[in-house]
Amino acid sequence: MTMRRIVILDDIERAALTHGPWSRLGADWQVDAIDRHLEGDDLVEALRDAEVIVAMRERTPLGREQIAAAGRLRLLVTTGMRNAAIDVAAAKERGIVVCGTRSLVSSAAELAWALILASARRIVESAESVRSGEWGGELGVDLAGRTLGIVGLGGIGQRVARVARAFDMDVLAWSHNLAAETAAEQGARRVDKAELFAAADIVTIHLRLSDRTVGLVGAAELAAMKDTAILVNTSRGPIVREAALLAALQAGSIGGAALDVYDTEPLPPDHPFRTGAGLLATPHIGYVTAGNFGQYFADAVENIAAWEAGEPVRVLSA
């Protein structure tokens, strides 16, 4: 019997096989989880015989060239319901079905708060002092009475707002189409973008990446921030102009930044975000939780079974 092959890309956490009910697909499927990031010829070789690819978010770009090289590919599943790194149109031209999976909104909101708290209370620096044999914490700041500015008050932003109210923070919000009434329902005050960046002690970004949001936070917005304010981005890297943020951090014109997302991922080894002062950087882990992975891979198995039955679900359009 010829085995049909499923390739799971970028299983860096080595969690895909244990978090999905793959056995439900039957004995004629071979599931290969690749636990490292592949590029170039290595990627092409790994995908050569794949009938199904499961992509972990935007970790590996699958453009026209990569899709064409995967000559047996018939189904492409991405974790999450959108993936800017996949050329959906190129896939459809070749008769390849592209499907997504559901995600837990809570995961990204919780990471945003982890970064906010770690930055405000200097958790990493204080923990390192213990590891080095010292006994002295960094001076943190209280959140109660401070102002949180939320850029994007969708599902994730709303969860962030609820936690902010529990910390007795004043909450400001802005996005292009946000109505004052909607903000008020979430315990926030709708302001214009300039006021949000000028007034907030912490600015946290929760927008989708689109033509309208690329470069949304640049030199002007960063210059408007207080010199003690912290910028947090757990959405997508290109929303913030990297050069402008590096310049602001180097000049000390803002208090710091906490980032989980970048223009290029994985972050290049020599990138200044890896070593920059005033910066807390994590490797795009907003979705990296056991609960989220369970959702991703249960849906991936369901997607494959439904496609095999001729009734694909959660199909993505170009």
- The pLDDT tens digits along the chain (318 residues) read 578 999 999 999 999 999 999 999 999 999 999 999 999 999 999 999 999 999 999 999 999 999 999 999 999 999 999 998 999 999 999 999 999 999 999 999 999 999 999 999 999 999 999 999 999 877 899 999 999 999 999 999 999 999 999 999 999 999 999 999 999 999 999 999 999 999 999 999 999 999 999 999 999 999 999 999 999 999 999 999 999 999 999 999 999 999 999 999 989 999 999 998 899 999 999 999 999 999 999 999 999 999 999 999 999 986
Q: What is the pLDDT of residue 3?
A: 87
The one-letter code for the residue type at 117 is: L
User: What whole-number distance in Å separates Cα of residue 96 and Cα of residue 215?
Assistant: 32
Strand 230-233 to 75-78 pairing: unpaired
Q: Exactly one of 284, 302, 311, 314 is catalytic; which is it?
A: 284
Q: Exactly one of 4, 57, 190, 236 is catalytic; which is it?
A: 236
Verify whether residue 176 is a known catalytic residue: no
Sign (positive/negative) of CA torsion 38, 43, 46, 50?
A: positive
Verify whether residue 138 is a known catalytic residue: no
Q: What is the pLDDT of residue 138?
A: 79
Verify whether residue 284 is a known catalytic residue: yes
138: phi then psi, degrees, rounded to nearest 5: -80, 150
Q: Exactly one of 110, 221, 265, 302 is catalytic; which is it?
A: 265
Report yes or no on whether pTM surpasses 0.85. Answer: yes
The DSSP call for residue 24 is G
Q: What is the pLDDT of residue 137?
A: 74
Q: What is the pLDDT of residue 1?
A: 57
Q: Which residues contact 260 (CB under 8 A, 6 or more apart)?
A: 111, 115, 233, 234, 281, 282, 283, 284, 285, 286
The one-letter code for the residue type at 160 is: V
On whether the 4-103+289-308 domain is CATH 3.90.1570.10, my answer is no
Instruction: Indicate the CATH number for domain 105-281.
Output: 3.40.50.720
pLDDT tens-digit series, residues 72-130: 999 999 999 999 899 999 999 999 999 999 999 999 999 999 999 999 999 999 999 99
User: What whole-number distance in Å separates Cα of residue 299 and Cα of residue 145?
Assistant: 42
CATH 3.40.50.720 residue spans of the chain: 4-103+289-308, 105-281
